[in-house]
Homo-oligomer: A and B are copies of this chain.
Amino acid sequence: MLNTMGIIFAGNEELRMGELTRARSLAAMPVAGRYRLIDFILSSMVNSGITNIGLTTKFNFQSLLDHLGGGTEWDLSRKKYGLFILPPFYKSENRITESGESKIQSLYNVLHYIRRGKQDYCMLAEGNAVINTTFDEMLDFHRENHSDITVMYSKNADATASQDGCFDVAADNRIKDISPNNTQNAAKSVGFCIIDTDLLITLVESCYARGEYDFSKDIIGKNLTKLRIFGYEFNGYYRHIYDIQSYYRFSMELLNRDVRDTLFENEKKIYTKIKDMVPARYQSNAKVSNSFIADGCIIDGEVNNSVLFRAVEVRKGSKINNCIIMQNGKVLENSVLNAVIMDKNVVIGSGKTLVSEPTFPIVIGKNRVI
């Protein structure tokens, strides 16, 4: 899949994530004990042989920059192409951001980058998808159908997660219409599409000039008869993270072996930044079950149905149930937690009780001491 470049929309900032994305972009959200959300789509692209990848960014992408560095850990520190972080562009005269809110505006701002690539195809992807796949077959499909735009869809997908809506897909796989029919069995966009690079440039320029900023409506919808636009069905596991519920739900799904195996016990690896960590340490009073535990943890309490990120400490007498505890979280002695999401560096003192239901997890912001 060497003839394809990747563009990842990593500028999304989801207000529905609340405090968790206040100081980081959604793509930099910590997930699954040691990863960041961006790792999934980035690794899927790398594992597909895409070596020219641009990330559009908007606000507060410091943590994204720190995480990705020069791209070495994703094998993207390459001589030719590699990983490009594309900050927003400002017209210097009036200091106004042109990056805007929409995919089309983002694409317009990185046209210089798209033009520099020599790849015939461009893969557009959301930065907030949890997936481990390769796109080789989708590209074959795109070529075989002489498709102009191929959109990946799923019938299983979580409907609310779809950012580009639902489609009517005909038997020949052509997309007939954009459908308001967001039902269980509808073909929902997974948020990835392959498009011929030259066509993308033309479409973005023309939409931008006319102030048409809705990718789904203005690029897909308006061109359904003029262009060959196909749907490519994806049957595997994927999740979009777009609010606290979807984040919590996905984290709890990691306790299913199938989900873990699909994502991680795969020839295709999910790459991430490597940090030096001591192995997890279980003390004499540790009682841990059905939990996903990262290195550096020190556990002397009880942990059930939970995800513990790196260097989390759970002291003696504490009971953790249905929780997500991010890096450097500390739960001192004799506290009881149920359905709590702790952002990085949160400390829960001894003898505290924080209990909710999995349908309504408690969120504790970064660096808080409770």
The interface of chain A, by Cβ under 8 A from chain B, is 13, 15, 22, 59-62, 65-66, 69-72, 77, 79, 84-87, 89-90, 92, 95, 97, 276
Contacts and interface: CB of A to CB of B under 8 A. Distances in A.
The 9 closest A-B pairs by CB, nearest first: A70-B70, A59-B90, A69-B70, A65-B85, A62-B87, A60-B90, A59-B92, A13-B92, A61-B87
A89 B70 contact: no
Query: Main secondary structure on chain A at its contact with chain B?
Result: loop
A87 B88 CA distance: 10
Nearest to A84: B66
A95 B61 CA distance: 14
Contact of A79 (B15, B77, B95, B276): B276
A47 to B, nearest CB: 21
24 contacts: A15-B92, A22-B92, A59-B90, A59-B92, A59-B95, A60-B87, A60-B89, A60-B90, A60-B92, A61-B87, A62-B86, A62-B87, A62-B89, A65-B84, A65-B85, A66-B84, A69-B70, A69-B77, A70-B71, A70-B72, A70-B77, A72-B77, A79-B276, A95-B97
A89 B61 CA distance: 9
A369 to B, nearest CB: 17
Given A62-B86, A66-B84, 12 more contacts: A15-B92, A60-B89, A60-B90, A62-B87, A62-B89, A65-B84, A69-B70, A70-B77, A72-B77, A79-B276, A87-B87, A95-B97
A90 B15 CA distance: 14
Contacts of A72: 70, 77
A276 B79 CA distance: 9
Nearest to A60: B90
Contacts of A95: 59, 97
Nearest to A22: B92
Q: Pick from A92, A95, A276 the residue with the most CB of B within 10 Å.
A: A92
A113 to B, nearest CB: 8
A89 B22 CA distance: 11
A89 B15 CA distance: 17
